[in-house]
Amino acid sequence: MYKLTQTQLFTVADRAAEALFRYCEKFGIHYVVTGSSGGLDSAVTLGLAQIACKKAKDAGFQLTSVGLILPCESNPDAERLGREAIQKFGAEELKIDLTSVFQQIDSMHLLGNNLQIKQLLKRTGGEAAIAEWDWSDKIAKGNIKARLRMMLGTYHVARMIKGIVLSTDNLSEFWMAFWTICGDVGDYGMIQQLLKGLELSELAIYLGVPEEIVAAKPDDGLAIAGGDEDQLGAAYPVIDQIMIKLVQSGFDPDGEMDQLDSLPQISGFDQDLVHGLARRALIGSYKRKGTVILSRTYLGLPEVDELNL
């Protein structure tokens, strides 16, 4: 079974923290902000930020880690664990309660907007979207919570203290497109390429993340379903193993949909699950590509360095 060695764990932590410190030093950034959700990803990010701050202090550069508690109709345990991670890794704590803001938006604006959206779908033949309305509504409300945390939480604080937001996304979520655009991404990602099921837990233990956080059931805290596994259809270690086998067999998560017609059989896993995860990765690939920007050449315009003024 794949397992990181102690040398690898040290190297990952040391290089991630060193890179963050050097980046902040280069651009004169003195604060790094992490939304502390009480989950594994944010706790590991806080742990790496602490090491970066120590490296900065040793080099005579001031760097402060800030952890934000951002409840929004959240489970009280999430706040408790988020605070525990902040305290464990010596970050400065700020709390911004977004519950009343979300509830006001939900009660005053969403109902009227949703009526208009349903009318639009009926006019334009959007039967499939109407059939999935209740599920879409849950996801949409979860996305609003994530974007409120970004807009009124992490990015607001980062702007006011002239800092940057640390991303808490991992490779497993990246493959599954399991994040909110303009919601829970950040300016600097130290764990974006780490597998949540097979690598991140080991790094968390290495860093000393509180045991209760390591053992907790993964949950995005947006009240969409009963945890990440309910939404994704599998636990993270299973997702990691299937996706690794698919990629090793030539599957391209950012490739064409017709790959679904010739997926390999993966021993030990139900083929319907393999197909479902592969399909989710392909459908969500647009999120990984970011904003599409048409080139000047495509638009029939000369390049800027060819303009005669």
In 170-269, at which residue ranges do the beta strands (DSSP E only) sit? 188-189
Where does the pLDDT of residue 135 fall: very low under 50, low under 70, confident under 90, or very high at 90 and above? confident
Contacts of 169 (CB under 8 A, 6+ apart): 41, 179, 184, 185, 186, 189, 191, 192
> What pLDDT, on a 0 to 100 scale, did the predictor assign at position 298?
97
Cα distances (Å, whole numbers) of residue 113 to 119, 132, 144, 282: 10, 17, 14, 30
The architecture of the domain spanning 6-99+137-231 is: 3-Layer(aba) Sandwich (3.40)
| Structure confidence at residue 228 (pLDDT) | 84
What average pLDDT does this structure show over 241-245?
97
What's the rounded Cα separation, in Å, for the pair 82 and 93?
10
Residue range 167-205, pLDDT digits in tens: 999 999 999 999 888 887 899 999 999 999 999 999 999
Q: Which amino acid is at 42?
A: S
pLDDT interval class at 224 (50, 70, 90):
low
pLDDT tens, 78-89?
999 999 999 999
- Taking the whole predicted model, whether its pTM rises above 0.85 is answered as yes
Task: Please report the sign of the dihedral spanned by the C-alpha atoms of residue 71, residue 75, residue 76, residue 78.
Answer: negative
User: Per-residue pLDDT for 284 more than 90?
Assistant: yes
Output the pLDDT for position 223. Answer: 62
Please give the pLDDT value at position 110. Answer: 63
pLDDT digits (tens, 9 = 90+) for 30-62: 999 999 999 999 999 999 999 999 999 999 999
**How confident is the model at residue 111, as a pLDDT?**
59
pLDDT tens by residue, 115-133: 888 899 999 999 999 999 9
pLDDT for res 109: 64
**275 has pLDDT over 70:** yes
- 112: pLDDT strictly greater than 70: no
Give CA–CA dist 245/5, Å, rounded. 21
Residue 139: pLDDT over 70: yes
Question: Token pair for residue 5?
Answer: 């060695």
